[in-house]
Amino acid sequence: MEPNVIELNGLTKKYGSFTAVDDLSLSIRKGEIFGLLGPNGAGKSTTILMMLGLTDPSSGTVAVCGINSTKQPVEVKRKVGYLPEDVGFYDDRTGLENLVYTARLNSMAPAEARDSALQLLERVGLSNDLTKKTGKYSRGMRQRLGLADVLIKNPEVVILDEPTLGIDPAGMREFMELILRLSREEGITVLFSSHHLHQVQQVCDRVGLFVKGRLIAEGDIRSLSQQLFGNEPVMIEAGALHPDKRLQEAIGSIEGVNTVRLENNIFRIGCSRDVTPAIAELIVKSEAGLCYLQKREYGLDDIYNRYFEGGES
Amino acid sequence: MKLFDTSSANGVMHPFRVIVGKEISDHIRSWRFIILAAIILLTCFGALYTSLSNFSKVIKPTDPEDAFFFLKLFTASDGTLPSFLVFISFLGPLLGISLGFDAINTEQNRGTLSRVLAQPVHRDYLINAKFVAALTVIGIMFFALGFLVFGIGLIAVGIPPTAEEFLRIVFFILLSVCYVAFWLNLAIFFSVRFRQAATSALACIAVWLFFSVFYNMIVSLVAKAIMPSEIASEYQMLGFQRFILNLLRVAPGQLFNDASTTLLMPNVRSLGPLTMEQVQGAIPSPLPLGQSLLIVWSQLTALVAGTVIWFGLSYLSFMRREVRSR
């Protein structure tokens, strides 16, 4: 088994009486893409700051690449690339200058810094804009420059805080693909936080659900849905033109069906196994006018919603 | 020390030096600095012009200070334009404030603070580098300016200065740098405290205005209130004078003025009141440099102490601050 690159143990951060992160334990393996998912203010950014040693935890330990972030932040920051939420650059400098500056802060020689900056700019698709002042960059360009900025130190771990915030869908997809490719090619461990479900679902190997400072579930999407919807892993939606109570009861009595709900002429049927043919047959026979039938696997949306329904009540 | 180890063979610099280098180039490129430098340059040449144009009137052959006529370049004035010294004491704080008031808060607002601190550097590198860079720029500028005045004076007057005059001017420039450093640190402190650069600039200017305009008024009010009656003894008067002077010396500008006058006018032999007994038997000749330095030592110490206090405060509040993006 691969060693754990990020190891959080009982991590807690309190601001006065407010607990931003509550007894968080998490480990992330090498080469993994981990998504930290949660609504705003859930403590995602605070957790990330603690991983980088930019904030001291109230209790608990953080180790990144086996180094304690609280005690040796500089050593950790040598190995970790961090893209802050809404990253900023020196606006009166060009993209290239900004990158070279970062490289030199990482103890690179000027010539070496310039070479790798040029390479990276090429890689993130900014080679036409390298002499442009970053003040004139668009949001998407800044984000890509931020990625180059993170990669220039040849990190073992990349931490991205809300990397896709404010980019249009096309740019977002491009950006996520870039991250995915980099992680696979170079074996970089990626941790990113987001409140955006779909992108996380697309690229992440594992997801941690973060609500009010607590990690309430973690795992890949399949195992998450297993945890949550254990008794009804399959959801079938069936639309009928003339649904009625009798039909609903009939569906409920099919073996394997656990719950049936009727909303806007659509039956939502939670089943313990795939019983689509039986349901279809039943509805067709009842002449209720089957107009729509879909088998769904639970996506993050459902997981997310389910958690927040539970969390609020 | 590793910090000042210039570079290894392939030009790898210590990150601290990289930050300082970037900050210095930021200052020099900025319009703010160019404008201020231009103002200071212009006013200094104006001052130099007035002092040169009535140089002959200022120099009296019987004056024991005659030997130090070169120093007059910095202090003489015909009343139409203030002297070089007055300009420096007026514009110096402005320079310090303008180089420091947005040191930290602009980094934060631009979102560069968390990016830079995510690099393998210690957190205090940033604030130390800001201070060192601004001080370097100020130092270079003041020395260049002082020596420029010196050189032009040399050409215009035609008599080379003595070694003592040269040293006095070097000390005067060092003192000016300390004075500006005080205001620089005050400005850096406000830049850590206030999130908006405009607020911090206003706060700095408020402090500066308070000390340069209102503080004297307040002290003179206090003086009027507690003035001993006319029949008071000599010692009471002396004590009163000393008290008022010490009150005045809370203002950094007063400290700077005291110290620089002593350095540039060698016949000043005390900064406080002197009784007749003390003056009796004194030879009416200028003080040697060592003695002048002794007189200003307390002023200089107080200025440096003020600088250190402000720097310490900004260091503390910066290190405690949590670095969030924007």
Under a CB-based contact definition with an 8 Å cutoff, are residues B181 and B141 in contact?
no
Under a CB-based contact definition with an 8 Å cutoff, are residues B89 and B260 in contact?
yes
Nearest in space to A307 (alpha carbons), one of A219, A221, A209, A214: A209
**Residue in chain A nearest B116 by alpha carbon:** A102
Q: Chain A contacts of B15, Cβ < 8 Å?
A: 104-107
CB contact under 8 A, B22 and A87: no
Residue A229: what pLDDT?
67
Helix (H) or strand (E) holding A293: strand A290-296
CB contact under 8 A, A90 and B112: yes
Helix (H) or strand (E) holding A207: strand A206-211
Taking the Cβ of residue A54 and every Cβ of chain B, the question of whether any pair is shorter than 8 Å is answered with yes
User: Could you say which of B15, B118, B121 has the minimum Cβ distance to residue A84?
Assistant: B118
CB contact under 8 A, A84 and B29: no
Nearest in space to B132 (alpha carbons), one of B294, B278, B24: B24
Nearest in space to A60 (alpha carbons), one of A17, A7, A111: A7
Identity of the amino acid at A133: K
Q: Tell me the domains of chain A and their CATH numbers.
A: 4-226 (3.40.50.300), 230-297 (3.30.70.100)
Q: How far is B177 from chain A (nearest CA, A)?
A: 28
- Nearest 5°: the CA angle B15, B21, B24 is 145
Q: What is the three-state SS of B214-254?
A: HHHHHHHHHHHHHCCCCCCCHHHHHHHHHHHHHHHCCCHHH
CB contact under 8 A, B323 and A108: no
Residue B4: what pLDDT?
46
What is the average pLDDT value for chain A, to the nearest integer?
A: 83
User: Could you say which of B12, B116, B120 has the minimum Cβ distance to residue A109?
Assistant: B12
pLDDT in tens, A234-272: 778 888 887 788 888 888 888 888 888 888 888 888 887
What is the percentage of chain A residues whose pLDDT exceeds 70? Answer: 91
Q: How many CB atoms lie within 10 A of CB B307?
A: 23
User: Could you say which of B19, B118, B324 has the minimum Cβ distance to residue A82?
Assistant: B118
C-alpha torsion A140→A145→A146→A151, nearest 10: 140
Residue A101: what pLDDT?
93
Q: How far is B137 from chain A (nearest CA, A)?
A: 19
> DSSP labels for A68-128?
ETTT-HHHHHHHEEEE-TT----TTSBHHHHHHHHHHHTT--HHHHHHHHHHHHHHTT-TT
**Residue in chain A nearest B320 by alpha carbon:** A55
Residue B66: what pLDDT?
57
CB contact under 8 A, A87 and B11: no
> DSSP labels for B272-311?
S---HHHHTT--SSPPPHHHHHHHHHHHHHHHHHHHHHHH
Q: Chain A contacts of B32, Cβ < 8 Å?
A: none
Q: Chain A contacts of B10, Cβ < 8 Å?
A: 109, 111-112
Q: How many CB atoms lie within 10 A of CB B308?
A: 14
Q: Chain A contacts of B26, Cβ < 8 Å?
A: 90
Q: Chain A contacts of B13, Cβ < 8 Å?
A: 104, 107
Nearest in space to B105 (alpha carbons), one of B132, B133, B126: B126
Higher pLDDT, A173 or A118: A118
Residue A310: what pLDDT?
55
Identity of the amino acid at B143: F
CB contact under 8 A, B326 and A153: no
Residue B1: what pLDDT?
44
Residue B2: what pLDDT?
47
- Strand order of the β-sheet with A266-271 is A257-263, A266-271, A234-240, A290-296
**Residue in chain A nearest B21 by alpha carbon:** A101
Taking the Cβ of residue A88 and every Cβ of chain B, the question of whether any pair is shorter than 8 Å is answered with yes
pLDDT in tens, A205-229: 888 888 888 887 788 877 776 766 6
Return per-residue pLDDT of chain B as tens, 326 residues: 444 444 455 678 899 999 999 999 999 999 989 998 898 888 888 888 887 777 767 666 555 555 677 777 777 766 677 777 888 888 889 999 999 999 999 988 888 998 898 899 988 899 999 999 999 999 999 999 888 888 888 888 777 888 888 888 899 899 999 999 999 999 999 999 998 999 999 999 999 999 988 998 999 898 888 887 777 787 888 888 888 888 888 888 888 988 888 888 877 767 666 666 666 766 667 778 888 888 888 888 999 999 999 999 999 999 888 777 66
- Residue B285's Cβ-side half-sphere holds a number of Cα atoms within 13 Å equal to 6
CB contact under 8 A, A89 and B115: yes
C-alpha torsion B29→B33→B34→B40, nearest 10: -160
Long-range contacts of A179-182 (CB under 8 A, 24+ apart): A179/A33, A179/A147, A179/A203, A180/A33, A182/A151, A182/A158
For residue A308, name the pLDDT band (cuts at 50, 70, 90).
low
Q: Strands A80-83 and A4-15, how do they pair? A: unpaired
Give the phi and the psi of residue A7 in degrees, each rounded to 5. -135, 110
Chain A to chain B, count of Cβ pairs less than 8 Å apart? 90
Residue B296: what pLDDT?
84
Which two structure tokens, joined as six digits, stand for A216? 């309430």
Q: How many CB atoms lie within 10 A of CB A39?
A: 14
pLDDT in tens, A82-127: 998 888 899 989 999 999 999 999 989 999 999 999 999 988 888 8
Higher pLDDT, A279 or A101: A101
Is the confidence metric ipTM above 0.85 for this complex?
A: no
